[in-house]
Amino acid sequence: MLRLKNINTYYGKVHALKNVSLHLAEGEIVTLIGANGAGKTTILNTISGVTPAAAGELQFNKETISALAPDRIVKLGISQVPEGRQVFKPLSVEDNLELGAYLRYRNREGKDTIHKDMEQIFTLFPRLEERRRQLAGTMSGGEQQMLAIGRALMAKPRMLLLDEPSMGLAPLVVQEIFKVLAQLRQEHGTTILLVEQNAKAALKLADRGYVLETGKVILEGQADELLENAEVKRAYLGKDKKEIWER
Amino acid sequence: MQFDQILQYTLSGLSTGAIYALIGIGFSIIYNSTGIINFAQGEFVMLGGMLTLFFIGVLKLPIWAAMPCAVLVSALGGLLFERLAIRPLRQPTPINIVIITIGGRILIRGLAMLLWGKDTHSLPPFSGDDPIAIGGATILPQHLWILAITVVIIAANKFFFYHTISGKAMRACSYNSRAAGLVGIDVRRMVLFSFVISSAMGAVAGIIVAPLTMTAYDVGVMLGLKGFCAAIIGGMSSGVATVVGGLILGVLESLGAGLISSGYKDAIAFIILLLILFIRPQGLFGKAESERV
């Protein structure tokens, strides 16, 4: 469904992605793991058109989409839930969700269907319904994360890119959010590309994973294999350390 | 007698203040969506008045048709300004933008001078010249027109920004343009909109004030600066704060001119501007923004 071929992206002079190739099949959940600065966020932003690739090819359903602006990418059905949630804080929860459906409004989709979808988001995240008229900036981090995901879903994406949805959240909230992601795939067949620091949780949810280091893919494989991989365990799951400490 | 005088100055101050408010909101709308202070804003105020005269005088349109035409043409001017002068900037620095908007302002003023000459013109009042007595003071029907039209425009503005999807999208852009792009909002289009709306509002201000103060190719300079001042008092808000800022400015200016000396009229505005920038740069009603993560 989505394919990156030898993508190279620069931030000014910094070579952030070096010949990155990866793919996602329809309905898959794939996770990118790696340390800070490994290029995980850059991959998502390159896909979304925020930091376009300098070289390489980006394909979505066999079409080249390398040079499209962010709004065009959303139009194709790829929505990103950005790092740090980035909800529109001065706007209400409802307004945030409505704006998630901005392109559907522009396509003259009726307000009724859009509001019906909003109700669906509320069944997914009942806490948002309680706060529907509240300003987004007054909510807790977990609620803002739910809103950010809800906002992205309002565009009815076929593929969802999530950038560290668990960052700074309580374990219970993280569980709730990951449960929703699994549910989305099951009920709507949404393809998900998940960037996470919390490698263990991400690999448990995902089908496959890619491990990144300083802008390069150094390892890829089935999620359960990666979970058992000695290198991954040592570097990202913190297993060895714990064992040494316990000994 | 003293009281009547103060009432008189206050009333006329309120109507000039309303003009400043409209112009100031124009500044704020562009500032909020782009971070740009558009120093060419005042020229669209001038265009409003001058184009109305042009449509009446040269094309022989009746005044009620000339006014919307003038607003439309000014809005088109704002659109062209954004497309030709602002959008092509790849990585604009603040100083680039300041110079470009000042350049735009000189260009527009120069073109107006070439087209319409240096004469001062006046526009007929919308409904007669008979003064209306209020308490011990009198005001002109035009003052009422100014206040009424300002109220309507501000209400329409509020409706647009808070109850339509395009308005909400513009607010989203101004708060976080990257996140706005990620939900599918075409940020550049919103920037374009902000220039169109601002120049149209400036033109309206220029039209409704023209019957009182006369108009010429160079009225944009002072009106633009006063509008900027209103926006600064209002903390660059595109809502009520800037309206209040404009009204405060108008009233203080009028009282100062009446009670101290009319020679100081413009100085008062700039003293206020400087005081605000020194003491409360976030605006009279602004508070430092607090972040919650």
* Shortest alpha-carbon distance between residue A130 and chain B (Å): 19
> How far apart are the CA of B185 and the nearest CA of chain A, in angstroms?
6
Q: pLDDT over 90 for what percent of chain A?
A: 80
* Distance from C-alpha of B242 to C-alpha of B235, rounded to nearest angstrom: 7
Q: Give the torsion sign (CA, A211, A214, A215, A217).
A: negative
Shared domain check, A109 and A188 = no
CATH number of B2-128+139-279: 1.10.3470
Computed from CA positions of residues B56, B59, B62, B63, in that sequence, does the dihedral angle turn out positive or negative? Answer: negative
pLDDT confidence tier of residue B165, bands split at 50, 70 and 90: very high
Contact between chains at A99 and B168 (C-beta distance less than 8 A) = yes
Structure tokens at B187: 């940020």
- The verdict on A96 and A35 lying in the same domain is no
pLDDT of residue B291: 39
Q: Report yes or no: A158 at the B interface, CB cutoff 8 Å.
A: no
Give the range of the structural domain holding residue A37, as residue numbers without chain letter: 2-77+157-246
Average pLDDT, chain A: 91
DSSP helix/strand/coil, A216:
strand
Q: How far is A218 from chain B (nearest CA, A)?
A: 29
Question: Do B41 and B26 touch, CB atoms closer than 8 A?
Answer: yes
Please list, in sequence order, all residues whose beta carbon lies within 8 angstroms of the beta carbon of residue B63, skipping any fewer than 6 positions away.
B52, B56, B123, B124, B126
Phi, psi angles (nearest 5°) of residue B137: -110, 165
Coil/strand/helix, residue B172: helix
A67 shares its domain with A97:
no
CB B75, CB B199: distance < 8 Å: yes
In the chain, the amino acid numbered A128 is: L
Residue A82 lies in a domain: no
Total beta-carbon pairs less than 8 A apart between chain A and chain B: 73
Which pLDDT value is given to residue A187? 92
Which chain A residues contact residue B181 at CB under 8 A? 49-50, 69-71
**Residue where one domain finishes, among candidates A156, A175, A202:** A156
CB of B87 within 8 Å of a chain A CB? The answer is no
For A124-174, give the secondary structure using H, E and C.
Answer: HCHHHHHCCCCEHHHCCHHHHHHHHHHHHHCCCCCEEEEECCCCCCCHHHH
Last residue of a domain, one of A96, A130, A156: A156
Instruction: Tell how strand A55-60 and strand A63-64 pair up.
Output: antiparallel
pLDDT at residue B290, rounded to an integer: 41
- Token pair for A132: 């529907």
pLDDT for B289 equals: 47
Domain-embedded: residue A196: yes
Q: A63: domain CATH number?
A: 3.40.50.300
Mean pLDDT for A43-57 is: 93
What are the tens digits of pLDDT across the range A100-121? 999 999 999 888 999 999 999 9
**Number of domains observed in the structure of chain A:** 2
- Helices (runs of H) and strands (runs of E) counted in chain B: 11, 2
Residues A39 and A65 in one domain: yes
Using one digit for the tens of pLDDT, what is the confidence trace for A200-218?
889 999 999 999 999 999 9
Chain segment B191-241, per-residue pLDDT in tens: 999 999 999 999 999 999 999 988 999 999 999 999 999 999 999 887 889
Residue A99 shares a structural domain with residue A142: yes
A61 and A170 share one domain: yes
Q: Quick one: pLDDT at residue B95?
A: 87
Judge contact between A172 and A140, C-beta under 8 A.
no
Decide if A70 and B171 are in contact by the 8 Å CB cutoff: no
Residue B175, both tokens: 């708060």
CA–CA separation, B243 and B153 (whole Å): 11
pLDDT tens digits, A144-159: 999 999 999 999 999 9
b/e sequence A76-85, b meaning 16+ C-beta within 10 Å: bbbbbbbbbb
Look at residue A165 and tell me if it is in a domain: yes
Pairwise CA distance, residues A65 & B263, whole Å:
63
User: Is A222 a member of any domain?
Assistant: yes
pLDDT above 60 (res B257)? yes
Delimit the domains of chain B by residue range: 2-128+139-279
Supply the pLDDT for residue B283.
Answer: 83
DSSP string, B40-100: THHHHHHHHHHHHHHHHHTS---HHHHHHHHHHHHHHHHHHHIIIIITT-SS--HHHHHHH
A50 with B293: Cβ contact below 8 A = no
Rounded Cα distance, A140 and B134, in Å: 53
Instruction: Name every residue whose Cβ is closer than 8 Å to that of residue A149 and which is 6 or more positions away in sequence.
Output: A81, A125, A160, A162, A165, A177, A180
Q: Within this chain, do residues A120 and A181 fall inside the same structural domain, yes or no? A: no
Question: Within this chain, do residues A168 and A239 fall inside the same structural domain, yes or no?
Answer: yes
User: Are A80 and B182 in contact (CB < 8 Å)?
Assistant: yes
Give residue B159's pLDDT: 94
pTM of the entire predicted model: 0.88
* Subunit contact A70:B184, Cβ cutoff 8 A: yes
Q: Which residue of B has its CA nearest to A89?
A: B175
| Same domain? A63 vs A183 | yes
Q: Looking at the structure, tell me whether residues A229 and A187 fall in a common domain.
A: yes
Domain stop point among A131, A156, A181: A156
Q: pLDDT, tens digit, for every residue of B97-120?
A: 889 999 999 999 999 999 999 999
pLDDT of residue B293: 36
Q: Are residues A23 and A43 in the same domain?
A: yes
Burial status of residue B146 (CB atoms within 10 A of its CB: 0-12, 13-18, 19 or more): buried
Instruction: Kindly indicate the confidence band of residue B1, based on its pLDDT and cuts at 50, 70 and 90.
Output: low
Q: Identify which of B53, B40, B207 has the alpha carbon closest to the alpha carbon of residue B120.
A: B53
Asked if the structure places residue A217 within a domain, the reply is yes
ipTM of the complex model: 0.88
Name the residue with tokens 């413009």. B266
Answer yes or no: do A10 and A38 share one domain: yes
* Res. A245 pLDDT band, cuts 50 70 90: low
Task: Report pLDDT digits (tens) over B12-47.
Answer: 999 999 999 999 999 999 998 888 899 999 999 999
Which member of B165, B179, B185 has the closest CB to residue A86?
B179
Compute the average pLDDT of residues B38-57: 95
CB B233 within 8 A of CB B276: yes
Q: What is the mean pLDDT of residues B252-260?
A: 90
